[in-house]
Every structure is written in C-alpha cells, then in structure tokens.
Amino acid sequence: MPELTIIKPEDAQKGAVYKFSDQFINLLRKEDEIFVVGLGTAVSLAATAVSRVSNIASVNIEEVSIGYVGAQKLGLSGIFFVLNKKPKTDWEARKKELEKDKDLSYEGGQLLIISKNLTTDRAIPLALSRIAEKGFLKITSAGLAINRAVPIALELIKGGLALTDLCIPLILVTTVQYKMDDNTSRPETVVEIFVTKGKMHPSKKHEQMLKMMTTG
C-alpha cells in the first residue's frame, strides 16, 4: 500500500515546501507510488510542494482530486495527490481539449479567478450563474488563494444549489513565473479546477486515501 503523507495547517511554516518536496522524493526513491493530502489552509502548501517535486525530478502527478474530509457539514476540505515514477502524464493536452471553443474571459466568460478581493458570498452565486448559462467553468487560483478556491469548488459541486449535477474532469497544478514590481520574478503555484455538468465519481485511490486517514 502506498505511503500517505498528510499535510496539516500547523505544518505551514517557513521552509515547509522544501521539507515536504524533499520528503516526497526520498519516499519515491524507495516506493513506486505515494499519496499526499493537504488539509484546510495547508492545501496551497501541499500543491506547492507537489508542483516543486514535479519541476525538479522525474515525478509524475498521476491524479489530483479534491473532497471533504470527514462529514461535509464540518467543511474540512482537502486536496489529494497520487505521485509516481511513471512517464509524466500530458495534462496540458487534456486542458487544451477542455478549453477548446470556451470563452475564457473573466468578465461574463467561463473563467472565475479566486483572489483576496472575491468573497465566497460573491464567488458562489457568480459561479452558479455562469455554469447555468454556459455549462462550463474554469476556476483558477494562485498561492494562498488556492486555500479558498478548493472549498469554493467543493461547495459548488456538493452544495446542492446547482441546477444539474456537476463534476470536475480535471485539476491542473502548475508553476508560473510571477513578475515582481522590481522586474524580478518568483515561482508561483497555480491550481486550475475545471467544472462541467455530469456525475462526480471519486476514484478508487481517492477513496483509498480517505479510508487510510480514518483508519490510521
């Protein structure tokens, strides 16, 4: 059974990205596959550590999913990763397929950018409106905003307010170079969550991680 690393809010300290990315590499030196789960406000930390591993080593992000941990009413959201040493999956090709012929403008389009200026009370109605009208939505976030994007996406999918069943066909985790005011740049983790009409079916590995977390 793959080893599971759980990243919790209290783990979000200086140097934690390097600590966990090094840990993943050392685990994969011995194992073919590992599981990673980031919880609550550590979702962005988990995504950043995973993205760094994929950037510096031949590590494949086999699967990315999101879900509630424990009872949904408790609202503890998580991001779930399956990492292995297989050839890297071409998730960009899947992204291009999903984005084909879509209006990815923010104003009135099928794109929702999660930032500190967009409250959840505004994001959920806006997302529901765009999905009802266009049947597709891309939710994008970077850095600490990832911690807000995941619970927003989960409420959208499982909150019971959408007109139809919704599913997430793809979650893409990448790194971009963010340009600073002084013309230098720094790496920033970006998470893109694609939402469309359809039934949500958690993968077997997602369910396996949930079971491992509850049984210890």
Q: Is the model more confident about 165 or about 178?
A: 165
Render pLDDT for 189-209 as a digit per residue (tens, 0 to 9). 999 999 999 999 999 999 999
Phi and psi (nearest 5°) for 111? -120, 135
pLDDT score recorded for residue 89: 93
Render pLDDT for 67-87 as a digit per residue (tens, 0 to 9). 999 888 888 999 999 999 999
Q: Considering the entire predicted model, what is its pTM? A: 0.94
Q: CATH assignment of 3-215? A: 3.30.110.20
pLDDT score recorded for residue 141: 97
Question: CA 149, 154, 160: angle at the middle one, nearest 5?
Answer: 135
**In the 3-class helix/strand/coil scheme, how is the chain assigned residue by residue?**
CCEEEEECHHHCCCCHHHHHHHHHHHHHHHCCEEEEEEEHHHHHHHHHHHHHHHHHCCCEEEEEEEEECCCHHHCCEEEEEEEECCCCCCHHHHHHHHHCCCCCCCCCCCEEECCCCCCHHHHHHHHHHHHHHHCEEEEEEEHHHHHHHHHHHHHHHHCCCCCCCEEEEEEEEEEEEEECCCCCEEEEEEEEEEEEECCCCCCHHHHHHHHHHHHC
Average pLDDT over residues 174-186: 84
Render pLDDT for 113-138 as a digit per residue (tens, 0 to 9). 999 889 999 999 999 999 999 999 99
Question: CA 142, 145, 148: angle at the middle one, nearest 5?
Answer: 135
Render pLDDT for 25-52 as a digit per residue (tens, 0 to 9). 999 999 999 999 999 999 999 999 999 9
Hey, where are the domains in the chain? Answer: 3-215
pLDDT score recorded for residue 108: 86
Spatial neighbors of 214 by CB under 8 A, at least 6 apart, are none
Average pLDDT over residues 136-161: 96
Averaged confidence pLDDT in the chain: 95
pLDDT score recorded for residue 216: 64
